[in-house]
Structure 1
């Protein structure tokens, strides 16, 4: 069932707002290597009008190929935005997917696949990333060789620098992996709150930055009653040039 209400009017277009009227609104790529959040995220973003593609339990090589394939889709040209959601174990700079050897995939590299030089169909369009990292302590990580992530035989390390790119919204939530180990089937509190906000037609009258401010409040309010080892840490970085409103 669509989240959009019958008879609702799209947010008024203006020079300081991104166009968000295409059908579908864009591709939504969900890569959930934990398996607890896919269903609610798929329902939420499909209801918003996105063409949702879900992948569970990918290893790093499979994720690399998936990102490359999606970035090359020509259908981005006919869409107004793009969303990527990643859920995985990892460290502060990388995600591990389902691999038992923690070579890690640099998070910064993920942005590079969808910048205008790599994905021209998204030029000037908002690209939203929501990352849930279950952080593995350093003493439990294994060192392995660098990973080839671009399909051309080049080694990409965590020190890779990404050129400045506009129109990116990057929300990264981290919590200790012990949270997952204590409740293996529990969803991410961060992603559950995000879904609740986006499914609320009144909250969708707010721009994405204001929605994220409310998300911050929910997450940090929850932290006040949580054990210190189970507290979520939330970071937002963005290079948006305009306001972004989802359809109401």
Structure 2
């Protein structure tokens, strides 16, 4: 019968197996209340299913490990007229009173992100050097728009930062004051839809010294971003992808851009329309953790590492295809 047939048999057994009972002369399907409820429960998972397979170069189907059963009931609907809006706030230059340096390399980040999210189908808009008031006003206006024909929303913040804070060109403000504008009780047209925030900024002043493994990583010159109808929860369906963990620096190369954005764009360009968002960000974590290490003539800033951090309140799987 082959792997495909065996897979269908397994699904059939999962569907009916729990309610099949032996009887004289064979089997019968039990229709007691308990079993009927069990069928309803399983039906939610398997009634609609999609088997995705890929072919090898010789045209033959790959083995069973490459079959993927997808249940639409547990996936975000991405079939709206538009994928959605992507806002990129790119802060490079800061008022002298803030004590923040110019963020060299951030324009490279913004450019790569623009192309990357455009390729995923987003309507991308870039805003450079925004004050705190302008950032909040911009996102408030976006949150008040009608997103009914959009599948999701994305916002990318490129700036200096501290834990829980992001810098406008004139000072720092709480990240939550911007993200909360998109809560379910504030932005009704995005209720039940994924709201993605990617934040390239420091979250403190600690360095990650790393720990030796079996293989040595490549070097990178340094710069940092710091000084730095049924009810659902209003905080549901958010995802925050931070460039680093709480308390730590976030590294940036003046020529190539930040480590996190380099890795994010690399993975999205290659797998953005194939993998689920958490798979994508796990690969980003791996790439940042293994492919980057700081180098400096000052030993205090040399041989440092970084690991991104994902905080997810998503309630379904998210595929951009």
TM-score of the pair, normalised by structure 1: 0.75
CA distance in 1, matches of 2:320, 2:148: 19
Gaps of 5+ in 1: 1-10, 143-162
Alignment equivalent of 1:83, drawn from 154, 158, 167: 154
Q: Would you say 1:106 and 2:179 are equivalent positions?
A: no
CA distance in 2, matches of 1:214, 1:78: 30
CA distance in 2, matches of 1:184, 1:141: 17
Q: Would you say 1:14 and 2:72 are equivalent positions?
A: yes
Instruction: Report the 3-state secondary structure (helix = DSSP H, G, I; strand = E; otherwise coil) of the residue aligned with 1:61.
Output: helix
Partner of 2:311: 237
Question: Which one has the largest radius of gyration?
Answer: 2
Pairs within 5 Å for 1:7-86: 14-34=72-92, 35-36=106-107, 37-74=109-146, 76-86=147-157
Change in CA separation of 1:241 and 1:40 when aligned onto 2, cut-off 3 Å: same
Change in CA separation of 1:90 and 1:243 when aligned onto 2, cut-off 3 Å: same
- Contact 1:89/1:136 (<8 A) preserved: no
- Contact 1:23/1:49 (<8 A) preserved: no
Superposition deviation, residue 184 in structure 1 = 3.5
- Contact 1:204/1:211 (<8 A) preserved: no
Instruction: Report the 3-state secondary structure (helix = DSSP H, G, I; strand = E; otherwise coil) of the residue aligned with 2:159.
Output: strand
Pairs within 5 Å for 1:109-128: 109-128=177-196
Superposition deviation, residue 234 in structure 1 = 1.6
Partner of 1:226: 294
- Contact 2:86/2:124 (<8 A) preserved: yes
CA distance in 1, matches of 2:189, 2:259: 33
Q: For the aligned residues, what is the CA RMSD?
A: 2.6
Where relative contact order (Cα < 8 A, 6+ residues apart) is larger, the structure is: 1
Q: Describe the superposition over 1:104-163 as per-residue Cα deviations: whole angstroms up to 9, x where unpaired.
A: 11112222011111110100000111000045759x969xxxxxxxxxxxxxxxxxxxx8
TM-score of the pair, normalised by structure 2: 0.59
Partner of 1:94: 165
Pairs within 5 Å for 1:125-140: 125-134=193-202, 137=205
Gaps of 5+ in 2: 1-68, 93-105, 207-225
